């Protein structure tokens, strides 16, 4: 016997729900239902035609009858708690009652009838399976739920769209009732399809769920775990589907065509949710996207994969897509479905390994993950690899996100590429955002960081990795959310606000980028779909020996695409001006930190990782082509040939260049720090530590880095590396910075070193800002060093000789590079017009009077433009206040010379008068 639903006008009398008597037998109830249903069918011989017309009419007028809420008695709720299967039966026994009807006698009658009706049903939390016999015993004379006015959902979450059974809006007048619609039993769901849907292994759920034309009409099928009932709504017509058990609901409506628009009323305990049918939508990802993903050439991958809020087929919602080629099935789980993906299986879009599902009504702010069925049948809940926003750690969910930030840095972007980076001033302040001023958000940092950096004269900031990472102690270098700024400090738009503020202050923004490896967290990328996917399938190639992480499989085109698009993403979406690529050396060599027998040579028998080489070349070529004006910087600690050579120019080893714009000069850093760490009396034996860098200075385009790695984990801060007492330590510190800023190459200084912090950096508390408190006795010592850094940057930016020909050997000449006994270094820098700057460093603790240096003979006089021993910096104020005129006495191979007073442990800069 099939139940029927009758479209009911809100203005007509409502049918009274008929309840079986307490003494009635199951046989009587069944006969009564059959009799009434048969009478109804005889009264409506043209049901199919009228139903179709009603559907069409309702769709055209977009009728506002959207929500139905059944008010359940207290007795029924108590019964439902005792037997979950009785919830659905109780729901179907009486939909609407007046207060007068809720008598104690009727409650008892309802409870007994429910108990009998539920005898043939399986009690499960998801609706419970019902046998054919049990289904026939459902009373046919149910009252149709009263129609309520359409309501526009104000929120995306299901709770916002739900109508409480006790809070249904007052009835509204509506169109006259249409003919009753008969809901027949739909064709049985194939047992294999049913099992695959319930076990999360169905590749094409849209072929089973939703509305499909079949002989005799249109079959509707929904999978809604935990639902009490599901009703199809189209215009003024409603049809409640049969409960097939285990969360399945279906019905056959005598319609000619599938309605263009219909909705579902899904009743849960205490509420009714009105929603579009997720399985009536076509794929929301195009063929071109799939082709590019399959080829590994989708340069805007973040627009194709992940969670994308959109309007699809006229309906707002979110498209979810994920690459999981080894998965047997994928579902979306989130706050909107109680973190159970059973009712939201995704469809496979073919050979590209991409799964897709458009979920209507879901918008910005929803939490979600992907529920993946592995090849072995087990399940895993994974964060979205392309998530553009995440929860703040330690929470790990992905968040649906759409940017609303309006950029104000147009002038910065227009001029940033006017001069190539290697021919422009470039001094960098390295920052760990979470600890620069602990507790500040991105927006609060935007109020302080730009002003501070601008005051000190740095041209750029370099942000340690801001991509989401679960362990704060990794400083961001073990990334799980490659497309999401860390939520610790705010939203992605908040991070954009910070970048925008820095640009408007005239400061470029670099960020550390980590494509070498990723952590093993079981909710992130590791064996993402049950097998090695982002990591190499060979355990020897995948396990990073130093950090306990996994290395990317650079030979897999989809993985290369994931990383190349990620580099583009940060530059385009967040207006990042440059990427400093971390741990390049670990990527380039197959034997990096591995013993013999732990690695396999490449196809040519060498140790080079050819896949990583190809990836880095592709990344650099793509970024420079798509985002003119940006710079990529390699942290590469070996002598690999051609790190900053163009990718199309082959070197002696046969490889094309890697294509980076700049490279960290790790050799200069280690050699020079070792030198200044020696007592001055011993420095003469290590003199080449300061001069050897000029042997290879023009082999690459270099940055001179004093980075976070050099002032942490027992390495001591920069000033604490220096020998001697506190005065000598500060003097060495200042002299070293003066030497560094004059040396060919760009400069990078980690936060805290600009004011000679004595303690190592710790991410737990950040720089020791209290050292600059005027109430602190040694505050002038620290403030003097910071004033020096400001003046170094100021003179540097206004002196092209110090940066214009950084990569041109003709821009540098030694005056004296072999004065080891004196601990003196002197050289001249030239700009493009030939204008010189003379830099002299005396790294001994004695004053050297009348120290003669050879100079060009075409400069009439020199004057001191910077002296690190000046009193305002905390020095002894041994200076050369008057112009210094050359003498015609040749010296150091030059026709003229000057005599200087060299202050102890100091660097002096002189320019033509």
Q: Is 186 exposed, middle or buried (CB count within 10 Å of its CB: 0-12, 13-18, 19+)?
A: buried
Query: Under a CB-based contact definition with an 8 Å cutoff, are residues 86 and 69 in contact?
Result: no
Token pair of 804 as six digits: 């214009």
Query: Under a CB-based contact definition with an 8 Å cutoff, are residues 467 and 800 in contact?
Result: no
Q: Among candidates 738, 737, 739, which has minimal Cα distance to 750? A: 737
Query: Under a CB-based contact definition with an 8 Å cutoff, are residues 905 and 845 in contact?
Result: yes
Catalytic site residue from 243, 277, 356, 582:
582
Residues 451, 455, 456, 460, CA torsion sign: positive
Rounded CA separation 586/570 (Å): 23
Token pair of 811 as six digits: 């821009």
Three-state secondary structure of 477-521: CCCCEEEEECHHHCCHHHHHHHHHHHHHCCCEEEEEECCCEECCC
Pairing of strands 460-463, 508-513: parallel
Query: Under a CB-based contact definition with an 8 Å cutoff, are residues 633 and 510 in contact?
Result: yes
Rounded CA separation 303/893 (Å): 63
Token pair of 588 as six digits: 């380039």
Peptide bond into 571 cis (omega under 30): no
Check if 287 is active-site: no
Catalytic site residue from 178, 635, 710, 864:
635
How many CA atoms lie less than 13 Å away from 698 in the CB half-sphere?
A: 9
Check if 527 is active-site: no
**Measured between alpha carbons, how far is residue 856 from residues 841, 848, 864 in Å?**
19, 22, 16
Q: Among candidates 141, 132, 142, 130, which has minimal Cα distance to 96? A: 142
Cβ count near 260 (within 10 Å): 13
Token pair of 352 as six digits: 């590209």
Token pair of 818 as six digits: 């072999």
Q: Which residues of 82-117 are buried (b: 16+ CB within 10 A; e: fewer)?
A: ebbbbbbbbbbbbbbbeeeeeeeebbebbbbbbeeb
Token pair of 204 as six digits: 């094409």
Rounded CA separation 236/176 (Å): 9
Q: What are phi and psi of 371, to 5 degrees?
A: -95, 110
**Measured between alpha carbons, how far is residue 600 from residues 546, 560, 606, 763 in Å?**
18, 21, 9, 38
Rounded CA separation 372/341 (Å): 9
Rounded CA separation 560/558 (Å): 5
Q: Among candidates 207, 362, 385, 376, which has minimal Cα distance to 279? A: 207
**Measured between alpha carbons, how far is residue 616 from residues 288, 590, 643, 812 in Å?**
25, 15, 10, 31
Give catalytic residue positions: 582, 635
């Amino acid at each position: 016997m099939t139940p029927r639903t009758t479209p009911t006008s809100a203005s007509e009398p409502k049918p009274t729900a008929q309840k079986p008597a307490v003494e009635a037998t199951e046989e009587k109830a069944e006969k009564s239902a059959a009799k009434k249903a048969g009478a109804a069918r005889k009264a409506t011989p043209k049901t199919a035609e009228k139903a179709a017309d009603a559907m069409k009419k309702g769709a055209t007028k977009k009728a506002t009858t959207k929500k139905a809420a059944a008010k359940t008695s207290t007795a029924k709720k108590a019964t439902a708690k005792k037997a979950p299967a009785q919830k659905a039966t109780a729901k179907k026994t009486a939909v609407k009652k007046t207060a007068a009807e809720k008598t104690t006698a009727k409650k008892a009658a309802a409870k007994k009838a429910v108990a009998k009706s539920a005898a043939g049903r399986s009690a499960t939390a998801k609706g419970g399976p019902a046998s054919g016999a049990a289904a026939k015993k459902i009373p046919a004379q149910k009252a149709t739920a009263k129609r309520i006015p359409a309501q526009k959902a104000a929120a995306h979450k299901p709770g916002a769209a739900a109508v409480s059974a006790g809070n249904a809006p007052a009835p509204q007048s509506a169109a006259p009732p249409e003919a009753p619609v008969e809901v027949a039993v739909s064709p049985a769901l194939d047992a294999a399809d049913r099992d695959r849907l319930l076990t999360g292994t169905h590749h094409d759920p849209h072929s089973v769920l939703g509305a499909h034309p079949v002989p005799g009409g249109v079959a509707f099928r929904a999978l809604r775990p935990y639902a009490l009932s599901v009703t199809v709504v189209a215009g003024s017509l409603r049809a409640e589907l049969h409960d097939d058990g285990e969360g399945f609901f279906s019905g056959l409506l005598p319609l000619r065509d599938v309605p263009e628009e219909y909705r579902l009323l899904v009743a849960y305990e205490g509420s009714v949710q009105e929603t579009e049918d997720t399985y009536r939508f076509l794929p929301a990802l195009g063929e071109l996207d799939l082709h590019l993903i399959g080829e590994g050439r989708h340069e805007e991958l973040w627009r194709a994969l992940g969670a994308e809020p959109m309007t699809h087929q006229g309906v707002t919602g979110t498209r979810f897509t994920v690459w999981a080629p080894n998965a047997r099935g994928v579902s979306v789980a989130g706050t909107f479905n109680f973190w159970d993906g059973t009712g939201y299986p995704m469809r496979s879009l073919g050979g590209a390994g991409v799964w897709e599902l458009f979920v209507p009504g879901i918008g910005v702010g929803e939490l979600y993950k992907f529920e993946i069925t592995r090849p072995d049948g087990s399940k895993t809940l994974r964060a979205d690899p392309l998530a553009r926003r995440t929860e703040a750690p330690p929470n790990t969910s992905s968040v649906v996100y759409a940017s609303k930030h309006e950029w104000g840095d147009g002038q910065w972007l227009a001029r940033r590429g006017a001069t190539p980076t290697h021919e422009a001033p470039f001094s960098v302040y390295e920052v760990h955002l979470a600890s620069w001023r602990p507790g500040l958000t991105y927006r609060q940092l935007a109020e302080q960081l730009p002003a501070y950096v601008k005051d000190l004269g740095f041209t750029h900031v370099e942000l340690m990795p801001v991509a989401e990472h679960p362990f704060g102690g990794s400083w961001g270098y073990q990334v799980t959310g490659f497309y999401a700024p860390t939520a610790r400090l705010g939203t992605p738009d908040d991070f954009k606000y910070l970048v925008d503020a820095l640009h408007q202050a005239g400061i470029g923004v670099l960020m550390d980028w980590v494509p070498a490896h990723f952590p093993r967290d079981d909710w992130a990328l590791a064996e993402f779909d049950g097998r090695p996917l982002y990591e190499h399938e060979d355990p020897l190639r995948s396990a990073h020996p130093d950090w306990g992480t996994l290395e990317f499989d650079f030979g897999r085109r989809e993985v290369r695409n994931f990383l190349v698009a990620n580099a583009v993403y940060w530059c385009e979406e967040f207006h990042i001006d440059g990427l400093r690529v971390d741990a390049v050396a670990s990527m380039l060599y197959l034997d990096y930190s591995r013993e013999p027998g732990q690695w396999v040579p490449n196809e040519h028998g060498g140790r080079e990782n050819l896949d990583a080489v190809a990836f880095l070349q592709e990344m650099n070529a793509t970024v420079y082509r798509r985002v003119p004006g940006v710079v990529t910087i390699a942290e590469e600690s070996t002598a690999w040939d051609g790190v900053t050579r163009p990718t199309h120019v082959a070197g002696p080893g046969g490889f094309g260049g890697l294509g980076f714009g700049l490279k960290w000069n790790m050799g200069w850093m280690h050699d020079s720090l070792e030198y200044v760490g020696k007592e001055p009396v011993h420095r003469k034996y290590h003199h080449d530590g300061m001069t050897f860098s000029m042997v290879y200075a023009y082999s690459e385009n270099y940055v001179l880095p004093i980075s976070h790695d050099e002032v942490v984990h027992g390495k001591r801060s920069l000033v604490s590396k220096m020998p001697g007492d506190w005065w000598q330590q500060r003097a060495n510190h200042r002299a070293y910075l003066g030497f560094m800023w004059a040396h060919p190459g760009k400069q990078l200084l980690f936060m805290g070193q600009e004011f000679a912090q004595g303690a190592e950096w710790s991410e737990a508390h950040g720089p020791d800002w209290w050292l600059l408190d005027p109430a602190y006795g040694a505050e002038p010592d620290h403030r003097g060093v910071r004033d020096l850094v400001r003046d170094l940057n100021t003179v540097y930016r206004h002196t092209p000789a110090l940066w214009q020909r950084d990569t041109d050997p003709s821009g540098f000449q030694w005056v004296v590079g072999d004065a080891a006994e004196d601990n003196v270094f002197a050289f001249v820098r030239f700009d493009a017009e030939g204008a010189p700057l003379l830099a002299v460093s005396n790294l001994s603790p004695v004053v050297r009077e009348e120290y003669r240096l050879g100079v060009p003979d075409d400069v009439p006089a020199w004057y001191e433009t910077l002296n690190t021993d000046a009193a305002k910096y905390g020095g002894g104020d041994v200076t050369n206040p008057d112009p210094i005129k050359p003498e015609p006495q040749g010296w150091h191979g030059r026709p003229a010379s000057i005599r200087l007073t060299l202050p102890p442990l100091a660097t002096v800069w002189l320019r033509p008068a």
